[in-house]
């Protein structure tokens, strides 16, 4: 049965709104029990037992020696950069969440934007060399959509120049590079537990590294510069994770496999439903590398009868809230837009106009994905009427 279209006056397809980034709460009872334990202990922050347990579990999931819990990934990126002693310019993709770039800029580092690959949407290693200058202090790779960026080519360029690599792994909990878990690459990798991420810790993040000294510095920096003996030995900040965040993250992490399977079924439904639609493509990632399946991203190209923005409005009318990531691109956002662009970013410019992230997660089931794909199919088939309806002034 064809879906009706709300933009053409039909009823919305969904009774309950579906949101991209809707928090996953896998086991509210287990979360509540952990929160209750923490309250009974009255140990609510300052490296409490739940934070310690989360660090152990996360390190085990990623097969890495150290996972240092922090209040959020933005602070994690800043702590990692500070612990690595980076100063000067950092080469970074513009096609990322603004937080990657703000994190660097906020601590005085100067972002230099490099384009991404059209296939993977991650840093284009072939263009990296041209972005390096004598002031380059580090390269920041982003594992966008949980998909590992081109780790080895990026590391080779960095090694040849003698600069470190820091990976923003905010999207990449549980991801692997050909079976090797992320978390051990570069000098450090930074994961996010923001409520919109696959594993929701309300707010939160983890910095992973194989470097013992770096881990020790990270632990000190996140806690006002206090060392393990309780003495202040350096500058530091408050970037500690609290016990409630760890409780939420731990109970969600326990159900990670279930969440992955659920999202894979949603992806299958999107793939099936979108197959053959003109100009619309579901971006695919190897399931073994990106098990979370959290990011269902479609690319709408110039051959589609309706563009990305029109399709987004069609879905909003159906009570779906997709995200047009990452619009308009960090290089077009203040304050970076006020600096002259050093290198053209043609792929980034195109992707900011073409990509849309569709809902996933426990808020929905595969039938909802099928229904959403049907809506898109119907809109594309009726493009002239949809275009006219969207152009008409609101009644």
Do the beta carbons of residue 295 and residue 357 sit within 8 Å?
yes
Stretch that binds ligand PLP, among 25-33, 116-124, 166-174, 353-361 (CB under 6 A): 166-174
Of positions 24, 122, 155, 192, contacts ligand PLP by CB under 6 A? 192
User: If binding is defined by CB under 6 A, does position 251 make contact with ligand PLP?
Assistant: no
- DSSP symbol at 4: P
Do the beta carbons of residue 73 and residue 168 sit within 8 Å?
yes
User: If binding is defined by CB under 6 A, does position 252 make contact with ligand PLP?
Assistant: no
- Nearer Cβ to ligand PLP (205/359): 205
User: If binding is defined by CB under 6 A, does position 173 make contact with ligand PLP?
Assistant: no
Distances (CA, A) of 210 to 97, 98, 164, 190, 236: 26, 27, 14, 13, 21
Provide the minimum distance between the beta carbon of 167 and ligand PLP in the complex, in angstroms, as a whole number.
Answer: 10
Residues 6+ apart with CB under 8 A from 139: 90, 91, 92, 123, 128, 154, 157, 158, 163, 164, 165, 166
Provide the minimum distance between the beta carbon of 102 and ligand PLP in the complex, in angstroms, as a whole number.
Answer: 9
User: If binding is defined by CB under 6 A, does position 96 make contact with ligand PLP?
Assistant: yes
User: Angle 128-133-138 (CA atoms, 0-180°, nearest 5)?
Assistant: 65
User: If binding is defined by CB under 6 A, does position 115 make contact with ligand PLP?
Assistant: no
276-305: contacts with ligand PLP (CB under 6 A): none
Of positions 54, 68, 82, 142, contacts ligand PLP by CB under 6 A? 142
User: If binding is defined by CB under 6 A, does position 73 make contact with ligand PLP?
Assistant: yes
Of positions 170, 277, 280, 311, contacts ligand PLP by CB under 6 A? 170
198-217: contacts with ligand PLP (CB under 6 A): 205
User: If binding is defined by CB under 6 A, does position 80 make contact with ligand PLP?
Assistant: no
Number of H helices, E strands in the chain: 13, 14
User: If binding is defined by CB under 6 A, does position 91 make contact with ligand PLP?
Assistant: no
Q: Is the peptide bond before 328 cis (omega within 30 degrees of 0)?
A: yes
- Nearer Cβ to ligand PLP (76/273): 76
- Nearer Cβ to ligand PLP (140/306): 140
User: If binding is defined by CB under 6 A, does position 121 make contact with ligand PLP?
Assistant: no
- Nearer Cβ to ligand PLP (73/269): 73
CB atoms within 10 A of CB 160: 10
- Nearer Cβ to ligand PLP (192/242): 192
Cα–Cα distance, 69 to 89 (Å, whole number): 26
Question: Can you list the alpha helix ranges (DSSP code H) found in the chain?
Answer: 28-41, 49-62, 73-83, 98-106, 125-131, 151-161, 212-221, 243-254, 256-274, 308-317, 346-354, 366-381, 383-391
Do the beta carbons of residue 171 and residue 294 sit within 8 Å?
yes
- Nearer Cβ to ligand PLP (99/236): 99
User: If binding is defined by CB under 6 A, does position 194 make contact with ligand PLP?
Assistant: yes
- DSSP symbol at 149: -
User: If binding is defined by CB under 6 A, does position 236 make contact with ligand PLP?
Assistant: no
Distances (CA, A) of 142 to 93, 182, 298: 7, 12, 19
Stretch that binds ligand PLP, among 93-101, 229-237, 242-250, 385-393 (CB under 6 A): 93-101
Cα–Cα distance, 355 to 158 (Å, whole number): 29
User: If binding is defined by CB under 6 A, does position 148 make contact with ligand PLP?
Assistant: no
Do the beta carbons of residue 71 and residue 51 sit within 8 Å?
no
- Nearer Cβ to ligand PLP (146/273): 146
User: If binding is defined by CB under 6 A, does position 348 make contact with ligand PLP?
Assistant: no
- Nearer Cβ to ligand PLP (96/209): 96
Binding residues with ligand PLP: total (CB under 6 A): 14
Greatest CA separation for the chain: 70
- Nearer Cβ to ligand PLP (202/265): 202
**DSSP-derived pairing of the beta strands 89-93 and 136-142:** parallel
Residues that bind ligand PLP (CB under 6 A): 72-74, 96-97, 99-100, 142, 168, 170-171, 192, 194, 205
């Amino acid at each position: 049965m064809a879906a009706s279209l709300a933009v053409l006056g039909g009823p919305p397809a969904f009774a309950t709104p579906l949101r991209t980034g809707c928090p996953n709460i896998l086991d509210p009872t287990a979360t509540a029990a952990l929160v209750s334990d923490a309250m009974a202990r009255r140990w609510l922050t300052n490296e409490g037992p739940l934070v310690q347990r989360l660090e152990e579990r996360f390190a085990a999931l990623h097969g890495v020696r150290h996972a240092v819990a922090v209040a959020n990934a933005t602070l994690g990126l800043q702590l990692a950069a500070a612990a690595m002693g980076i100063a000067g310019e950092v080469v970074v993709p513009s096609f990322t969440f603004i937080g990657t770039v703000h994190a660097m800029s906020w601590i005085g580092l100067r972002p230099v934007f490099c384009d991404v690959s059209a296939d993977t949407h991650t840093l284009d290693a072939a263009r990296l060399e041209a972005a390096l200058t004598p002031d380059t202090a580090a390269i920041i790779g982003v594992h966008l959509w949980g998909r590992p960026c081109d780790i080895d080519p990026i590391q080779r360029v960095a090694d040849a120049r003698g600069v470190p690599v820091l990976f923003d792994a905010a999207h990449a909990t549980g991801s692997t590079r050909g079976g090797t878990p992320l978390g051990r690459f570069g000098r450090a990798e930074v994961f996010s537990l923001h409520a919109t991420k696959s594993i929701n810790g309300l707010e939160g993040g983890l910095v992973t590294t194989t470097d013992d000294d770096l881990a020790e510095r990270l632990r000190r920096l996140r806690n006002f510069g206090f060392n393990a003996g309780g003495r202040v030995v350096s500058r530091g900040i408050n970037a500690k994770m609290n016990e409630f965040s760890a409780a939420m993250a731990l109970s969600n992490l326990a159900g990670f496999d279930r969440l992955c399977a659920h999202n894979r079924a949603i992806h299958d439904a999107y793939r099936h439903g979108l197959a053959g639609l003109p100009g619309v493509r579901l971006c695919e990632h190897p399931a073994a590398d990106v098990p979370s399946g959290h990011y269902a991203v479609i690319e709408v190209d110039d051959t589609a009868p309706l563009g990305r923005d029109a399709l987004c409005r069609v879905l909003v009318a159906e009570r779906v809230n997709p995200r047009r990531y990452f619009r308009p691109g960090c290089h077009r956002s203040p304050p970076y837009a006020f600096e002259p662009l050093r290198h053209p970013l043609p792929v980034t410019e195109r992707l900011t106009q073409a990509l849309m992230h569709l809902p996933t997660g426990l808020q929905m089931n595969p039938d909802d994905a099928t229904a959403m794909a049907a809506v898109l199919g119907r809109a594309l088939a009726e493009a002239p009427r949809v275009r006219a309806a969207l152009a008409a002034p609101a009644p």
